[in-house]
Amino acid sequence: MTDTPEPSLSPTGLPHVDGYRHADVTGGWLRAATFGAMDGLVSNTALIAGVAATASAQTVVISGIAGLLAGAFSMALGEYTSVTTANEQIDSEVLAESRSFRKDPEAERAELVAMLTDMGMSPQTAAAATDEIHRDESRALNFHLVQELGVDPREKPSPWVAAGSSFVLFAIGAVIPLIPYLLGHESLWLGLAFGGIGLLLVGGAASRITRRPLVLGSLRQLALGGVAIGVTYLVGHLVGGVVA
């Protein structure tokens, strides 16, 4: 029989299992990195497949490098802009809540009592908890925002980290299907094989982080990416035939 780790008390007094730490789920680097790597793999492998359907190897390499650079900068800019906009919206809500605290503090206290009661506390316990929380206005403000918006304004993701993660991982993903061409092998199928291996690896890595079945995550990404790549190749072949 295996030994089960005994729960202990953390410095905050909350029980936890020794050796376990929660992952970062604030939506910063991990989402951007995963999205960037997957987008780089799928978009550039599909681009290479579409171009290679009717073009030369040199054209494929030029198109692939252009797709890598354009996609990496686009992803980084998009991540920076989206995270910055989301953070600015949070700041706006913080300002609005601060004004409400100053204008009508009793209404805010009553609002929190109602929220805690809806969570299962008795009215008496909710009122006592509200009094305790509202002794510190900054803590009370953060608590209200967490309950009302579902986000903690003290844990906003960094737009620079999101942009950098997206740029680097997109570039890495996008260069994988180009490797055979850069090494002098003018083979679309070898490029597709490299892209497929990349999809399996990224899907497996994401599954590892989220503690999902490794094989299922890998095959899911390969299947979804394969559909996009196959459709792009077919369109490239059809368009190339019409233009020719």
Give the model's pLDDT for residue 240.
65
Quote the crossing angle between the two packed helices 137-149 and 105-118, to the nearest 10°: 50
Residue 67 · residue 170 · CB < 8 Å: no
Q: Where are the domains of the chain?
A: 30-51+58-238
Q: What b/e sequence results for 157-167 when a residue is b if at least 16 CB atoms lie within 10 Å of its CB, and e otherwise?
A: bbbebbbbbbb
- The pLDDT assigned to 38 comes to 86
Nearest C-alpha neighbor of 206 from the set 220, 192, 193, 195: 220
Consecutive 10-residue runs of the chain (244 residues): their mean pLDDT? 47 48 56 84 90 86 93 93 91 84 84 86 88 83 80 84 92 93 88 91 82 85 87 80 56
pLDDT of residue 7: 46
**pTM greater than the 0.85 cutoff:** no
Q: Which residues contact 34 (CB under 8 A, 6 or more apart)?
A: 169, 202, 206
In sequence order, the 6+-apart residues with CB closer than 8 A to the CB of 215 are: none
